[in-house]
């Protein structure tokens, strides 16, 4: 049930940069979804006007409440609808009378439970009044650069990652990770049933968004797979990482019952992704890790990596992943080996991985990277801090200014020092991974995007 409306791009711009929002079904009950959305708009410091709509309340969370959207004097850019599904067609007629033409339908109770006729009625009403909407059966949207969190949980940290997900929980999970790690996001979209606005509309919008560098996409079935691949192939500026569940026959059936998405051949989809330059993830963790690396790191010139670690075991784990993913853990140039041996304590294992052992400090890493950076047969560095090593952020930040090659960090086994250093690095735009395998997989994705790779 696709809807063709004029000026869709203008409507999306109006939606994400809304200056006024009506919450239809707003409530004073903290257990209601509508209460949480209204509270998140307020707590997130949304700068526009907020109009709660509730026929039984005069005031909600300190804001004047209105019985109907038509009772509001000012204009409204966006309506967030959280009322029983059966009431939505009539509400959309009132929106049409008020000339409100963008909406988010949070409410469920449509085709996902077999209620196709009601969903069809919503579509027909939207068409009649030229309303574009997200959902139904979705978790809303967030655009941090407008302090607009018409969703949950509250995500406010600004970054370069856009999240578009058919699953509200996947969207919330990725957003929470980005918030907690301090790397932030540009926008977060929960598609739900994508009855009107679909993944293609939002991909197109965020490919043009100047704040977005990478799009993390969770999709159960494409509205137009051919169009997606064409857009992805023609896109030269930004990276797209996609997590598409339903790879198995049983998984396809579950996906279809979730939001009535139709999933095609996984083999064909995988081949198309490779041809279009789309990075494929196979878990929520991979979707996040790959997007984080692509959003925060430069592309390397090649696929040769040097691993510098305080933990020999962690270096081995990373090496296995590199070997399995066609990233070359290069043998050290003999001249480089001699220089490193001259500068390091005798108990350090000078090879690749370079084991600085457990007594190292952060400045030993800095010395090694500065020396190794002079050699052209190394394209990127993985630094594994495997102990509570203070000043890691200071050292890596300094190296980031001087070294043109990507520097990826893994920090583990460091307790409170690890937490402090990791958060500081994320705030400085340095991606940190909590396990060597995750760091190595992220680097393997980065190397696929290097100059001259397929």
Phi, psi of 199, deg, nearest 5: -60, -35
Looking at residue 310, its pLDDT comes to 98
Which pLDDT does position 389 carry in this prediction? 98
- At 233 the pLDDT is 87
> What pLDDT is attached to residue 420?
97
Q: Phi first, then psi: what are they for 103, rounded to 5°? A: -150, 155
- For the chain, list the domains and their CATH numbers: 8-293 (3.40.50.261), 299-448 (3.40.50.261)
Q: What distance in Å separates the CA atoms of residue 132 and residue 100, rounded to the nearest whole number?
A: 10
The tens digit of pLDDT for each residue in 276-306 reads 899 999 999 999 999 999 999 989 999 999 9
DSSP helix, strand, coil percent of the chain (3-state; round to 5): 45, 20, 40
Q: What pLDDT is stored for residue 221 in this prediction?
A: 86
The tokens describing 298, both together, are 């430069």
Buried b (16+ CB within 10 A) or exposed e, 243-252: bbbbeeeeeb
What's the Cα-to-Cα distance from 66 to each of 20, 33, 148, 394, 421, rounded to whole Å?
Answer: 14, 18, 21, 53, 48
Q: What is the pLDDT of residue 262?
A: 47
Tens-of-pLDDT digits for all 454 residues of the chain? 444 444 888 999 999 999 999 999 999 999 999 999 999 999 999 999 999 999 999 999 999 999 999 999 999 999 999 999 999 999 999 999 999 999 999 999 999 999 999 999 999 999 999 999 999 999 999 999 999 999 999 999 999 999 999 999 999 999 999 999 999 999 999 999 999 999 999 999 999 999 999 999 999 888 888 889 999 888 888 999 999 986 655 655 555 554 444 456 788 888 889 888 999 999 999 999 999 999 999 899 999 999 999 999 999 999 999 999 999 999 999 999 999 999 999 999 999 999 999 999 999 999 999 999 999 999 999 999 999 999 999 999 999 999 999 999 999 999 999 999 999 999 999 999 999 999 999 999 998 876 545 4
Whether the pTM exceeds 0.95: the reply is no
The pLDDT, as a whole number, for residue 452 is 44
pLDDT of residue 266: 80
CB 331 within 8 A of CB 195: no
- Quote the CA–CA distance of 104 and 195 in Å, as a whole number: 11
Cα-Cα end-to-end distance for the chain: 37
Cα 39 from Cα 61, distance rounded (Å): 7
């Amino acid at each position: 049930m696709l809807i063709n409306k004029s000026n869709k791009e203008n409507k999306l711009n109006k939606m994400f940069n809304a200056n006024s929002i009506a919450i239809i079904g707003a409530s004073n009950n903290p257990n209601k979804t509508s209460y949480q959305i209204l509270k998140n708009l307020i707590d997130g410091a949304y700068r526009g006007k907020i109009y709660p709509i509730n026929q039984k309340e005069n005031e909600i969370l300190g804001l004047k409440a209105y019985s109907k959207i038509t009772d509001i004097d000012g204009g409204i850019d966006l309506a967030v609808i959280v009322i029983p599904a059966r009431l939505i067609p009539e509400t959309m007629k009132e929106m049409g009378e008020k000339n409100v033409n963008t909406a988010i339908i949070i409410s469920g109770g449509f085709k996902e439970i077999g209620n196709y006729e009601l969903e069809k009625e919503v579509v027909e009403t939207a068409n009649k009044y030229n309303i574009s909407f997200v959902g139904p059966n979705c978790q809303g949207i967030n655009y941090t650069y407008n302090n607009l969190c018409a969703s949950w949980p509250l995500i406010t940290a600004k970054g370069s990652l856009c999240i578009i997900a058919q699953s509200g929980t996947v969207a919330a999970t990725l957003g929470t990770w980005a918030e907690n790690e301090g790397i932030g996001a540009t926008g977060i979209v929960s598609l739900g049933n994508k009855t009107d606005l679909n993944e293609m509309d939002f991909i197109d919008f965020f490919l043009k968004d100047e704040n977005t560098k990478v799009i993390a996409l969770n999709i159960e079935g494409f509205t137009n797979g051919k169009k997606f691949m064409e857009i992805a192939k023609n896109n030269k500026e930004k990276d797209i990482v996609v997590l598409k569940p339903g790879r198995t026959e049983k998984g396809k059936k579950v996906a279809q019952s979730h939001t009535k998405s139709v999933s095609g051949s996984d083999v064909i989809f995988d081949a198309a992704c490779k041809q279009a330059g789309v990075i494929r993830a196979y878990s929520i963790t991979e979707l996040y890790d790959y997007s984080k690396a692509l959003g925060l790191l430069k592309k390397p010139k090649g696929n040769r990596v040097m691993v510098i670690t305080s933990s020999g075991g962690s270096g081995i784990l990373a090496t296995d992943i590199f070997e399995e993913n066609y990233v070359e853990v290069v043998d050290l140039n003999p001249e480089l080996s001699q220089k490193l041996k001259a500068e390091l304590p005798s108990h350090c294992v000078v090879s690749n991985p370079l084991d600085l052992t457990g007594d190292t400090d952060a400045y030993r890493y800095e010395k090694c990277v500065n020396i190794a950076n002079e050699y052209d047969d190394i394209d990127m560095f993985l630094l594994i801090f495997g102990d509570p090593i203070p000043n890691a952020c200071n050292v890596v930040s300094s190296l980031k200014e001087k070294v043109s090659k990507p520097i990826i960090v893994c920090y583990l086994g460091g307790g409170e020092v690890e937490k402090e250093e990791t958060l500081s690095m994320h705030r400085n735009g340095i991606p940190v991974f909590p396990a060597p395998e995750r760091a190595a997989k992220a680097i393997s994705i980065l190397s696929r995007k290097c100059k001259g790779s397929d």
